Every structure is written in structure tokens, then in C-alpha cells.
Amino acid sequence: IYSYFLASYIIHTFQMMTTSNNSFVAIFSLLLLSSMQCHAQLSSTFYDRTCPTALTTIRTSIRQAVSSERRMAASLIRLHFHDCFVQGCDASILLDETPTIVSEKTALPNLGSARGYGIIEDAKRELEKTCPGIVSCADILAVAARDASTLVGGPSWTVKLGRRDSTTASHTLAETDLPGPFDPLDRIISGFANKGLSTKDMVALSGAHSIGQAQCFLFRDRIYSNGTDIDAGFASTRRRQCPQEDQNGNLAPLDLVTPNQLDNNYYKNLIQRKGLLQSDQVLLSGGSTDSIVTEYSNNPRTFASDFAAAMIKMGDISPLTGQNGIIRTVCGSIN
């Protein structure tokens, strides 16, 4: 609103100063308003007039999916995260392989592990029935992540909307910019900092590992390391379903205690040296994040608040707005 009145004031001023040159005023006004549109801000009320049932429609699809499989909540939150961390929150992760697009779906961090594409597509299909060409796939991802969180006992937040969809994907960035399960703490911190997220944001977002599962090959080295940073009993339990060889795809819950509840138990596990992935346990390893882990383990409300704030901040990473990008009719392909 402020930007609109500022633009109106500037245009009016130029009109007063250049009454003898109407063509100049018209061109200047057009350029200014066009520039504002290209730099439009996300807003929670973006679809209030154009598609008032958008959020309800998305929530219905997500509720059905999570009701059928609780693990899907973790997958949908992860899908939004993996989208935003590559070339911004633009639904590039949803694009299928084509002769001109090398899909992010086949990048190592996503191959065989990223899930939920069909759920987003289902929500989009329903939206196209009532509001064709209005709601972006990028916004569906953002709303789905919030709804998934609330459906498994996690926090809610107001999702800012107005993102548009990319016409490109980046397989290369998907393999370089996403944090890995074996990364040291300094690399994880710098990776999040490169996206405009603080160390506290990173630790809060890591709490999404309170739900979901990981494949055996991602934590095998840790449970057979006999290291001092892993509880012996916990390692022994995890070895039962993850032998030293083969069965790479066997799954284990990231949080053994409340695997289907988005809560602060993840941080309690770290205190007890029961983080499943090396990149989890490294958050409590004598470094700068120890105090944040301790705080979240003791205060579930603080974690919930910081997690919600970090998700909002993550959703702001390089969105396409205004005239940039498109609104895809089908999330997996360009119109």
C-alpha cells in the first residue's frame, strides 16, 4: 500500500512539473509501475480475490495424503526445503526431465528419496478446476509444508503468497547447494548463510528431522563407527535393520521416540547422542550451535516459534514475482 501511494505521489509530481510533455509522463508512469510489479512483495492475502478457496483446497489434499501416510508430512516439508535451496522457491524441483530440462528430481540429494510430487500435482489439479491459471505450484509447495507441519502436531504460520513458477531447473545446483548428511558443521552453517538464513534458523529448521525416515546407507558409517558421539545402545538398535553390507534402502526413523510427531524431541535425542545422521549430531559437538540445541530441548514453545519463523524466512528465498516466471498448469511441465 505504501509503495502504491509513493508511486502515485511521484507520478503526480512529475505531472505537475511536465504538463507540457504528456508523453514523457505516460512513459515514466508505465516504467515505474512496471518496475514495482516486477518487484512485488509476497502477501498472505494474495489470492483473497482471485481464488478465495485456494488454501482450503490445498489443505484438503494435504490432509488426505498425510492421513493415508504420516510420513508424507516429512516428505512435503522436505520438498519445499529442497525447492527453495536450489534456485529459490520457484517449484523448479517439480519439473520433469525433457530434452531441454535436466530435472532436479534426478540429482543425488533427491533421487530415490524426494517424495510427494504427486500430492502437489493432485492439489494443483483441484485448483485448476476452480481457479484455472491462478495459483502457482511454488505457492502450493509453501502452503503444503505449513499444512503438513500442523497435521503432525507441529507449529503453524501465516504463509506469504504470490510466488510464480520457474521455466527452468538446475540439476547442478541441486547437487551442490543442498546440505548433505555427512557435512561438517561449518559447511552446514555457511550453506544456510548463503541463502540468507542464520545459524539459529538452520538449527530450528533441522528440527524437521523430528519426523521422517532415512535410508541405511546415509547413517551406516555412523552406527558402525564406535565413536564417542553416538550412544552405544542406540547404535546397536539401528544396526538390526542396517547391516554393514547391502540393504542400503532400509529405512529408520530420524526420531526413534516420536517419529510421527513434529516436536522438540529431535533435540533431546542429540543431547543423548542419538542423532541418526552425522549432520544431526554435529549440531551438538562442542561448537557454536550447542546452546541453541540445549535451548530447544528444554523449551518446546521456543522451538515451535523459531521453526515457524525460519520456515517463513526460507519461503522468502529468491521468489519469482510480478511478471517473472509463469503459472504452470501442470506442475511437472512448462505450459
- Residues labelled as active-site residues: 82
Rounded to whole angstroms, the Cα distance separating 163 from 318 reads: 9
Residue labelled with grid coordinates 514475482: 321
| Residue 104 annotated as part of some ligand binding site | yes
| Residue 246 annotated as part of some ligand binding site | no
Provide CB contacts within 8 A for 59, sequence distance 6+: 143, 147
| Residue 282 annotated as part of some ligand binding site | no
Rounded to whole angstroms, the Cα distance separating 210 from 315 reads: 20
Rounded to whole angstroms, the Cα distance separating 59 from 126 reads: 11
Rounded to whole angstroms, the Cα distance separating 239 from 235 reads: 6
| Residue 229 annotated as part of some ligand binding site | no
Phi, psi angles (nearest 5°) of residue 271 = -60, -35
| Residue 83 annotated as part of some ligand binding site | yes
| Residue 329 annotated as part of some ligand binding site | no
| Residue 92 annotated as part of some ligand binding site | yes
Cell of 296: 530447544
| Residue 186 annotated as part of some ligand binding site | no
**Of 168, 29, 33, 151, whose CA–CA distance to 91 is shortest?**
168
| Residue 231 annotated as part of some ligand binding site | no
Binding-site residue numbers are 83, 86, 88, 90, 92, 104, 179, 209, 255, 258, 263
Binding-site residue numbers for substrate are 179
Binding-site residue numbers for heme b are 209
